[in-house]
Amino acid sequence: MLKVYNTLTRKLEEFHPIHEKENRVYMFVCGPTVYDSPHVGHARSYVAYDVIAKYLRYKGWSLFYVQNITDIDDKIIRRAQETGKTWKEIAREYEEEYHRAMKRLFVDSVNLYARATEHIPEIIDQIKRLMEKGYAYETEDGVYFDITKFPEYGKLSGQRLEDLMAGARVEVNENKRHPYDFALWKKAKPGEPTWESPWGPGRPGWHIEDTAISERYLGQQYDLHGGGMDLIFPHHECEIAQMEAISGKKPFVRYWLHNGFLEVNGEKMSKSLKNFWTIEDVLKKVRPEALRYFLLSTHYRSPINFSDENLEQAQKAWEGLAKTVRKLKKLAKDGKEGEPREQVVEALEDIRKRWEDAMDDDFNTPKALAVLHDWATLVNREVVESGLKEEAGMALEILEKWDTVLTLFRSILESDGGVSEELVEGLMRIIITVRQKLREQKLYEISDWIRAELGNLGIQLNDRGKETTWEMT
């Protein structure tokens, strides 16, 4: 039985979706604000929910998983002003980079990505209903949600509205009635992108985009909502207020899931501390599977410590497992004929069960990875030793099923033994690094020769400052 830790009740609960009889599960996860390159904090969060989504499908649920893309907000506007680009150019550019990074990390479980700016009618419609019901009011600079009309505000983060109000700082925005009232609609300021609305031109607040999108695709109540712990308050609190005020139905979301932070060498990751890692930076050092393995080696609710050392360890652990998988794959094809031995069949069945128990325990991936290592030990000690084709086939089948969730060995499992895209990528990375070192030592003749030879093979190198990328021409 799958158990899920629910932030709303602060308990581990048995998982029973709203449409249990129809076998359907609906999930929403807060997507990125696309104003910069995706970093390892994003990887942490989205790999975690990718595995959660895939495990729900593994258990037989028909899951519909939606993620929003925040493609308009202060940071995007600021970035546009700084670079001389339009908000749309910035948003689309970084959204594309986000999708590229997710694809490399094998994050492919999301059914629908929904952009905020493509749901303005739904957003306006929700604000209108909040106004009609008396939960929202208009001011000179926007439309706000009146939190005193929703006494349960604070229930997700375990705070009481009175305490929040009492502890509030002196109000800076004189337009608002209460300090914790939040913007549903922001009226246009000079130079900002705008959309038409009953309250004049402007743009949506951040919290309303999620409920507008989720109401459209998942309904007024659904099963799972995920995001980083930093989103519990006020973001998710505001979502609850908006949707429960509109629908009158509780709870808006049955299970609230929150992932822990990512720290770098024990410190918060930030650009000013110069310990900032984009996903691309990391993937120059290790393969995507190793990063995935590293992220899954900590439980999704716990903080994770990112460091070169931990990353290298993960790469080593992954390589060890990968070796076993390759051997096993070969054996399953060319192994010896013969009946599988009963003790091996039993041991495999026991391991399979333990893996599911681990995942049923609030998606405990570190435990599941430990079981994966037990599996590898058994395979090496028994199956490789016996060389029996049928035993190898059974062990491989278990791994293939697990890998629909973990997605750590897809490149090996799907490879036909020929040259893979992965291998080419890896070799190109080596060539480019060697060429960079040559250039640093001013050995231009040989570095130009490399460029020319690659050109003959139809591979073009593009040097942009210190970065070199490649493409097939």
Residues that bind Zn ion (CB under 5 A): 30, 210
What lies within 8 Å, CB to CB, of 447 at 6+ separation is 435, 438, 439
DSSP 300-320: TTS-EEE-HHHHHHHHHHHHH
When the beta carbons of 71 and 210 are compared against Zn ion, the nearer one is: 210
* Residue 273 burial by Cβ neighbours in a 10 Å radius (0-12, 13-18, 19+): exposed
Give min distance, CB of 162 to Zn ion, in A.
Answer: 26
By C-beta, is 239 or 391 nearer to Zn ion?
A: 239
| Residues 98 and 38: beta-carbon distance below 8 Å | yes
For Zn ion, the closer CB: 35 or 293:
35
Alpha-carbon gap, residue 292 to 46, rounded angstroms: 10
Among the listed residues 288, 291, 265, the one whose alpha carbon sits nearest the alpha carbon of residue 276: 265
Residue whose CB is less far from Zn ion, 117 or 364: 117
Q: Min. distance of Cβ 109 from Zn ion in angstroms?
A: 18
- The CB-nearest residue to Zn ion is 30
Closest CB to Zn ion among 69 and 317?
Answer: 69
Min CB(303)–Zn ion separation in Å? 21
Dist. CA 333–CA 335, nearest whole Å: 6
60 phi/psi in degrees, rounded to 5: 100, 0
Q: How far is the CB of 29 from Zn ion (least distance, A)?
A: 8
- Kindly state the smallest distance separating residue 235's Cβ from Zn ion, in Å: 6
Instruction: Give, in order, the Cα–Cα distances in Å from 415 to each of 187, 330, 391, 412, 421.
Output: 54, 12, 21, 5, 10
Q: Quick one: 210 or 391, whose CB is closer to Zn ion?
A: 210
The C-alpha atoms of residue 353 and residue 452 are separated, in whole angstroms, by 55
The rounded distance, in Å, linking the Cα atoms of 5 and 224 is: 11
d(CA 41, CA 222): 26
Query: SS in 3 state form for 81-149?
Result: HHHCCCHHHHHHHHHHHHHHHHHHCCCCCCCEEEEHHHHHHHHHHHHHHHHHCCCEEECCCEEEECHHH
Work out how close the CB of 147 gets to Zn ion at its nearest, in angstroms, rounded to a whole number: 18
Least spacing, CB of residue 254 vs Zn ion, in Å: 17
Q: How far is the CB of 227 from Zn ion (least distance, A)?
A: 6
79 or 236: CB nearest Zn ion? 236
Closer residue to Zn ion in complex, CB, 28/277: 28
Q: In the structure encoding, which two tokens stand for residue 89, read together?
A: 């150019």
Please, what is the minimum distance in Å from the beta carbon of residue 210 to Zn ion?
A: 4
For Zn ion, the closer CB: 146 or 210:
210
Least Å from the CB of residue 239 to Zn ion: 7
Distance CA 136, CA 147 (A): 9
Max distance between CA atoms of the chain, in angstroms, equals 81
Q: Which is nearer to Zn ion, 146 or 209 (CB)?
A: 209
Q: How far apart are the first and last CA of the chain?
A: 52
